[in-house]
Structure formats: C-alpha cells, structure tokens
Chains A and B, each alone.
Chain A
Amino acid sequence: MRSIAVWLPVAAVLLAFVAFCGVELIRRPAKVLPKAAWALIILAQVPLGGICYLVFGRGEPPASEPPASEPPASEPPRSDTPAPDRPPVAHEPLAVTAADPPAVRTRALTKVFPAGVGLHAVDLSVPARGVYGLVGPNGAGKTTLLSLLAGLRRPDSGEIAAASRMMLCPDTPAFEPWLTAAETVELFHGLGPEAPIGTDRALRLAGLAGTRDRRVGGFSRGMAQRLGLAVVLASGADVLLLDEPTSALDPQGRSDILDLIKTLGRDHAVVFSSHILADVQRVADTVGVLREGRLIYQGPVEELLDRHTRPSWRLHLRSGAGPLADRLGHLGWVASVERQEQGLRVDTTSLHAGETLLPAEITASGAELIAFNPVGADLESVFLDMQEAKA
C-alpha cells in the first residue's frame, strides 16, 4: 500500500505531463522542429523533452480569413455607449477652421541616427480633425517621425506639442498570439480613457466580427492590420497614427479600410503614412512630403495638386489631328504637342492661352472635336516631380 502511495504521484505527474504534451502536439502546429521530432523528444526525455516542447515548440492554431461576405462596416464609428455631449458626426467634407488648434505640432524636431539619416528640423502641424497623409520614399523618416510622435523614441532636439492622446498602429501589428481578437481589443480598450467605441463595434468596423473569438496567433498579416485598426479605434485616442495600414491588404480590403480611415478623419486627427500615393490622395485632406528627413511640403492636398497642375489639355478628335498638330507646332504660346491614340495632348505656356486661344485654333484647323479636357495632376506625378526637383 505504501509503495502505491510512493509511486502513484510520480507516475501520475509524469503520465499527465506526457499526455498533455501529446494532446497539444496533435492539436497545434509545431514550431522549430517537425511534430514527429517533438514527439520523439517528448517521449525520450521525460520530462525535459516536454518542457522544451511547451516552451519552444508549441505553435498557435491558424485562423482562417474572415468571410468575404463580411466587409468592414463603413458607417461612421458612432459610440457604443450613450454620449449626449458628443456632437453629431459630420458627413460633409472636413471643415477645420483656422481657430481650431492643431492636434499635434512639432517644432524643429530632429533625430539623427549614426549614419546621418533621420529627421532634420521637422515642423509638423496636424489639424485637429481630418486625415494627414505622410508620404516619402523609403528611408525618408516617416516611421521615425511616427515613433517620435508616439513617444517611442526621444528626439535629439526640438519639441512636440500634442493636445490629446496619440495611439500608434505599426505597419505590421503584432499581438499576444494566445489572446482572441475580442480579448485583444478589450485589453487595449481598457488601458486607455473611456472610449466611445466598444470592442464589438471596433471589430465590426475593422471587418473582424466573424473572428472575434479566434486566437490571433494564426492571423494573416492582413487580418493583423485590421485588428491593429480595431485596437486603435477602441483605444479612445483622439490622434491615430497609422503606419502604412493598408500595405498587406487585398484591393477590396484596402478600399474598405481607406473608407474607414476617411470616416475616422471626421472626428479624429489621423496621421496616415503610405507608399501608395493614390491611397493618400483618396483619403487625405492634408499632406506632408518627407524627403531625406526633411519636410519639403505640408498643406492641403488640393493646393499641392493645383500648384503642380500644368496648363495642359487632352483633345479627343474624330479627325484632323495631323493638320491641327502641325498648325499648333508653329505657335509661340504652345509649349508642346504630343500625338496620342485618339487625339492630341497640348501643353501651353499659360492657362489663359489654353483657355482662349486653343479653341479658336481647333475651329480654324477644321478638326472634328469630340472632347476637350484639362489634364489634372495626381499626387504621384506631383511627388515624382518634387523628388526630381530636389535631386
């Protein structure tokens, strides 16, 4: 009887431990080594093999992508809890008055790394509401700037003045893999001030309502980006710093998240860095262009586009393109004429010349005109022009 009392605890602990390791090995993917190798180690080195497996070899079960029928909700992120003092959400285009103090302002912000790269005397001014697009080539300092704003790095010199709380969502967010999506959002929701957007609503806005109870360890990069957005949404911050939040999303997902960012800009200050300039042009009200750590432009997107719009017109012609091109080529106010598939592209020396003289020349040449359109500038071409001009 005494020998049973002696051996039973040892055998029970060993058996329970090995059985637990075996069940975990079957249920979950293995890390570092294949499952068969871990099985051998667990059995051959009781209990050290099992301990090594639990500490180093146990993976998280993968999560599937959210169903395609469940896009992120694009409605405005209204409050989960009654908030009688909150003003109604504006659906008109953003109108920040000059009297509104900026949400974030930096003065001569400088952070220089050993190789000389970094940020140099950046004077940033982020409006209290709206989407601020931060663009620049690789190494321009976008992520460094966001890290400084979020307080994750200390500047060498300069000042940061922020009127409210800022939250950063990194470009590849990572989470505790053993928490579920809902627990993750709930955790960060609980860390900040009372937030108007609750866990379930944040998950729904980010398109993750269907995965709320799945552990995030197996989330794809795109799902992690959505969860990162849900986390900052639920954090209650007034200033959201989003570092390339759409870089891992498919086209539909990107479009959904851009709509969400645009919506968030109605009552938050959103700083949104991206390499995809079309995305920035689509959602940003204000743009800051960084190059080699210096802010070379900051202001409304429209102003930047207007400033770089050339006096250029695209003529869609049914016939007579050749004679018209010859005729225009000899005129002093025409900068260039380019033959295109269904007509001409004409650059003039001034807007006035294009608007008054060009129609008269088309009529005089006898060409049959279908359409006469000014060529608009896009952010990408403006950005490339600015980069070339500075080079």
Chain B
Amino acid sequence: MNLWRVERLRLFRTGRWIALASVFLLLGFAEPLVTRYIGQLLGGATGSTYIHVTVTEPHAADAMAAYFGNITTLGTLVTVVVAGLAFSVRSNPPLAALYLTHVPSRIALLVPRLATMAVAATVAAALGGVAAAYETTLLLGAPAAGVTATGVLISCLGAVFAVTITFLASAFLRGQVAAIAVALGAMFVAVPSSSLIPGIRHIGPAAFTALPTALQTGAWNSNDTWATTLTTLLAAACVAGGLWRSTRWQL
C-alpha cells in the first residue's frame, strides 16, 4: 500500500469516479440528442396554436459545440467538487496529523492526490468527448476530426486547470466547503471576468475555456496558442503555489 494506491482507492471506493464519469458521459451522449431534436422539443413544449418555433437545421458542429459548452459549466462543477473533497487534507485534523507525521514530505503526500485527480478529470473529459463524437456521428454526421480532437484535448486541459485551481484553494483554506466555494468562484467568476481585461481578453483563461466551442466555427489562430500557453502556465503556478503553501501548514 502506498499513497498512489490510496488515491486510486479514494476515487473508486468512494464512488467519486462514477460522479465524475457519469456527468461527462451523460453530457456527451445527451447534448447531440438535444441538439438534433431541439426543434421538436420546443415545438412540443409550446404547442402549435399560437407560437410556431422554427429552428435552423442542426449540424454536427452545433452538437459538439453544445457539448463543449455544457461541460465547461456542469463538468467543471463536478470536477471541482470531487477534487476539493480529495485535496482538503486539513479539514480532518486528526487524520492530517497522522499523514503529516508519517510522510517524508508534504509534497510526497500531495503529488499523488493531484496527479490522480488530474488523470481522472482528463479521462472523464476524454470519454465525454468520445461519447459526444459517437452520438453526433450517428445523429448528424461525423464532426470535423481535427477540431473535435483539438476540442477534446483542450477540454481535458480545461478539466486539469479546474483541478489545479481547486488544489491551490485547498492549500490555502482549511475547510472543504470553503475551498470548493472559492475554487468555484474562481472558475465561474474570476476566469470569465478576465475577458473584461483588454490586454488578455483574447489570450487569457476565459478565451481558453471557450476555445473548444469556438473551434467548431473558427480556425485556430495565434491568440489560441497564447491562451493555451498562459492557462498552462497558470495551472503550473497554481500547483507550485499550492505545494509551497502546504509547507507552511500548521494544525
């Protein structure tokens, strides 16, 4: 038994992997369906007497864009909650005391948690992307392979970004609820707000999180490269900051 195996067991025995995978898989399977039948759904909901709803013909890109748009919210929400539960070492002081007096270093304790969670989020995002592409192919035809693959990769990186933000919040805050709330605030308020800053509007994390959706209708450009690079650096800074902060922990 080692800390890597403990983290795998944490994911599987607590059932958190099901929460994580089910959200991405269900969105992957459901979004193309909703996109394909949105006209009928709205028509059925409004009736045919007074309101007539006309929906443009859906395309494969619309279904994939709908999927990427939804995992940016619901997928991020579940990822942050599951990660926050795993990272909040100090929320249980007696357990933290046992861990911190036994591990050779705090980094040795936290790296397996971080890496396992990052891999889990990546796998969930990749599975969701594959499910969405499968369902879209059946309903609306095959989506463009290049942009879909890029979008899935970016969505995986986005999930890892959410994990690192949660890691940083958990390193600074003792309680699980507080850490999760702050991480959600960062992902849903601070990151979108970065698009209001003129200098980084097109190259910041807000542009990065919108990238999978935007790629369905546009081509990759140099701003996208900058957004990806900056977000990756920001994620690395979150990891470094969290690890540094953990060395200052007191119980």
Contact = CB atoms under 8 A, between A and B. Distances in A.
B71 interface: no
Nearest to A172: B94
Contact of A2 (B16, B18, B30, B138): B138
B250 interface: yes
A10 interface: yes
Given A50-B22, A154-B250, A190-B1, A176 B95 contact: yes
A56 to B, nearest CB: 9
B101 A151 contact: yes
Contacts of A151: 100-101
Contacts of B139: 6
A9 B134 contact: yes
The dominant DSSP class at the B interface is helix
Contacts of A187: 1-3, 6
B95 A58 contact: no
Given A6-B33, A58-B14, A166-B101, A153 B6 contact: no
Contact of A51 (B13, B23, B95, B101): B23
Interface in B163-180: none
A55 interface: yes
A10 B98 contact: no
B44 interface: no
A192 B33 contact: no
Contacts, number: 116
Contacts of A166: 101
Interface stretch (B47-55, B78-86, B115-123, B197-205): B78-86
A364 interface: no
A174 B14 contact: no
Interface in B205-224: none
A55 B81 contact: yes
A47 interface: yes
A297 interface: no
Contacts of B101: 150-152, 166-168
A179 interface: yes
Nearest to A5: B138
A2 B33 CA distance: 13
Contacts of B92: 174
Interface string A80-111: 00000000000000000000000000000000
Contacts of B3: 187, 191
A292 interface: no
A382 interface: no
Contacts of B10: 176, 178
Interface string B56-96: 00000000000000000000001001100100000011110
Contact of B138 (A6, A51, A173): A6
A14 interface: yes
B15 interface: yes
B133 to A, nearest CB: 12
Contacts of B22: 13, 17, 47, 50-51
B103 interface: yes
Using C-beta atoms within 8 Å of the partner chain, give the interface range for chain B. 35 or more
A125 B21 CA distance: 54
Contacts of B29: 9-10, 13
A147 interface: yes
Contact of B82 (A55, A154, A188): A55
Interface string A162-176: 000011111111111
A54 B251 contact: no
Given A154-B250, A173-B98, A178 B9 contact: yes
Contacts of B82: 55
A10 B37 CA distance: 15
Interface in A66-92: none
A115 B104 CA distance: 33
A380 interface: no
A228 B97 CA distance: 11
A20 B85 CA distance: 21
B19 interface: yes
B110 interface: no
Contact of A153 (B1, B95, B134, B250): B250
B111 interface: no
A51 B78 contact: yes
B25 interface: yes
B1 A47 contact: no
A176 B18 CA distance: 19
A231 interface: yes
Given A9-B29, A51-B23, A178 B97 contact: no
B1 A183 contact: yes
Contacts of A58: 14-15
A123 interface: no
Nearest to B82: A55
Interface in A1-27: 2, 5-6, 9-10, 13-14, 17, 20, 24
7 contacts: A47-B22, A58-B15, A152-B250, A170-B98, A173-B94, A186-B1, A188-B102
Given A58-B15, A178-B13, 5 more contacts: A9-B131, A20-B15, A55-B16, A168-B101, A183-B9
Interface of A: 2, 5-6, 9-10, 13-14, 17, 20, 24, 47, 50-51, 54-55, 58, 147, 150-154, 166-176, 178-179, 183, 186-192, 228, 231, 235
Q: Enumerate the 6 nearest inter-chain pairs by beta-carbon distance, A residue then B residue, closest first.
A: A178-B13, A174-B94, A186-B1, A170-B94, A174-B95, A152-B251
